[in-house]
């Protein structure tokens, strides 16, 4: 999963929540690649939640980096 590393690196440098479309735009990847890369990775450091996107400010399913307790 070469795209998973790019997604994880972006989220580690840009704290917050980003939707699939905004991540695709910022990483110059197709939106379906973002979804596929994030869902096929286990154990997942990237999580999906329903929150406010930092970029487009819409409330929808977003990606974020999972933090350890």
Which structural domains are found in the chain, ordered by start? 2-65 (1.10.10)
pLDDT beyond 60 at 69 = no
Q: What percent of the chain has pLDDT over 70?
A: 88
**Does 2 or 14 have the greater pLDDT score?**
14
- Contacts of residue 59, Cβ cutoff 8 Å, sequence gap at least 6: 50, 51, 52, 53
35-59 pLDDT per residue, tens: 887 777 656 788 888 999 999 999 9
As a whole number, the mean pLDDT across the chain is 84
Instruction: Read off φ and ψ for residue 10, nearest 5 degrees.
Output: -60, -45
- Give this prediction's pTM: 0.79
Other CB atoms within 10 A of residue 67 CB: 8
Question: Residue 43 in contact with residue 1, Cβ under 8 Å?
Answer: no
């Amino acid at each position: 999963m070469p795209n998973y590393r790019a997604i994880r690196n972006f989220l580690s440098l840009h704290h917050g929540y980003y939707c699939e479309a905004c991540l695709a735009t910022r990483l110059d990847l197709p939106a379906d690649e973002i979804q596929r890369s994030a869902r096929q990775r286990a154990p997942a450091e990237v999580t999906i939640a329903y929150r406010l996107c930092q970029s487009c400010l819409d409330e929808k399913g977003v990606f974020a980096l999972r933090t350890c307790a």
